[in-house]
Amino acid sequence: MALTEDTWSPASWRSCPALHQPQWPVEAAADAVRGTLASMPPLVFAGEARGLQESLAAVADGRAFLLQAGDCAESFHDFSAISIREKLKIILQMAAVLTYGSMLPVVKLGRIAGQFAKPRSSPTEVVNGVELPSFRGHMVNGDEPTAEARGFDPDRMLQAYHQSASTLNLLRAFTKGGFADLTKVHLWNQEFVGSSPEGRRYQAIASEIARALRFMAACGIDLEGERSLHEVDVWTSHEGLLLDYEQGLTRRDSLTGRWYDCSAHMLWIGDRTRQLDGAHVAFFAGVNNPIGVKLGPTATEADVAGLCEALNPNRLPGRLTVIARMGAGRVEELLPPLIRAARQGEHPVVWVCDPMHGNAFRTASGYKTRRFEDIMGEIQGFFSACLGEGAWPGGVHLEFTGEHVTECLGGSQEVLEDHLDHNYATLCDPRLNARQSLDLAFRVAELMRTAEANR
């Protein structure tokens, strides 16, 4: 059945199988929370979602690059102006490196202000000999390993909403109120990064940018009046996993009469919930935000054709982003047929590489980690797979943090296995630290330059 504006409603997903949804202890309590969410102000506006879709259309067309990054899972405990500012700094810093290196616009999209629900490979885990429900993200339960904390509580959706609202408020203030001004490019370098080789390399670029600005001013260009030098757009995104929350925040746009999920500018469907007859595809087929879908190694050409048709039947450029997470050793073999399947259906797709989720493993001491070299290896494989098929390698999707954590191995300041316990702070998957992120940006900028030169 075609999901048209007439047959679709924010609740119609309920007639489809919905994976990874918590069984709330009292359904009526979850219904009440959804009602409350539906009465709250939207977090983003439809017009903004359309603005992001326009920027993503430029990526689909090979005229821009997407940097999507943030925490694996945001935390109710780590909620402060400093932590938001540090994440924003890394995004701005990486974007400056990518833009300067490639001379292409970089679309900046946080995994932020809503990334609070996680799919888990097992519904339970054993901690100190006791079997507990798995942690599902702070929107659903607590991370502490007690039966009480791990119980599902729908009121957490309201807390997630409020934390997202405050996070967005600060992001808007920082990005429109002077912090993201290009004349501040030096200040985005973190103190502990500044003296490292990556930090010095960044300072060199920052100085070049400052010189270019002075050059333009000397030529008589009115830099004061040029909005794009003083403000940036940093858009928000999260995995649209918990459909009670997404439904509650879905609104009809007064301007166009169309439905938008106003919890974030962009939402993506995870690799575990992308079934064609499932609730997530049914839900996101009907909202008009830009949508992403993650594809892991089990994805087939038929999956790609079906997802493109279900989520972007009108073939709007920028509407659909496919985020491949195949693993470093497999991307060059697995991605090309999927690119061809989309092309055969004449579907415009933004192709993005998630080099994180296909490369995780557990160390002997029990830490879940990823190697920096595997992460870079998957990005390299992704670039060659796309370029080999004549497709634009449109972006990267990363898990990182502004702090100096020790969660991923390697990088120029070699994090070794026995360093992992120094500062392993993630609630879920291991993240790149600030130096690893900057290092990665320099290497991706080089890949982009080569890609540009070979087009």
Q: Which residues contact 201 (CB under 8 A, 6 or more apart)?
A: 442
Nearest Cα residue to 57 out of 107, 112, 109: 107
- Does position 92 interact with Co ion (CB under 5 A)? The reply is no
- Does position 403 interact with Co ion (CB under 5 A)? The reply is no
Positions touching ligand PEP (CB under 6 A) are 72, 119, 239, 270-272, 294, 325, 354, 357, 429
Binding-site partner at residue 10 among Co ion, ligand PEP, none, CB < 5 to 8 Å by type: none
The least CB distance from residue 361 to Co ion, in Å, is: 14
Crossing angle for the helix pair 331-344 and 301-311, to the nearest 10 degrees: 50
- Which CB, 319 or 325, lies closer to ligand PEP? 325
With CB atoms as reference, the residue minimizing the distance to ligand PEP is 270
Span from 87-95, 133-141, 269-277, 424-432 in contact with Co ion (CB under 5 A)? 424-432
The least CB distance from residue 189 to Co ion, in Å, is: 27
- Which CB, 30 or 72, lies closer to Co ion? 72
- Which CB, 34 or 325, lies closer to ligand PEP? 325
H/E segment holding residue 250: strand 250-252
N-term to C-term CA, the chain: 40
The least CB distance from residue 239 to ligand PEP, in Å, is: 6
SS3 429: coil
H/E segment holding residue 166: helix 156-176
**CA 199 distance to own-chain centroid:** 24
Binding-site partner at residue 246 among Co ion, ligand PEP, none, CB < 5 to 8 Å by type: none
- Does position 429 interact with Co ion (CB under 5 A)? The reply is yes
- Which CB, 319 or 357, lies closer to ligand PEP? 357
**CA 200 distance to own-chain centroid:** 28
- Does position 271 interact with Co ion (CB under 5 A)? The reply is no
- Does position 69 interact with Co ion (CB under 5 A)? The reply is no
- Does position 72 interact with Co ion (CB under 5 A)? The reply is yes
Nearest Cα residue to 162 out of 73, 93, 76: 76
- Which CB, 239 or 244, lies closer to ligand PEP? 239
**CA 277 distance to own-chain centroid:** 24
d(CA 143, CA 134): 8
The least CB distance from residue 439 to Co ion, in Å, is: 20
**Number of residues near Co ion (by CB under 5 A):** 2
Cβ atoms of 99 and 106 closer than 8 Å = yes
**CA 82 distance to own-chain centroid:** 20
Residues near Co ion (CB under 5 A): 72, 429
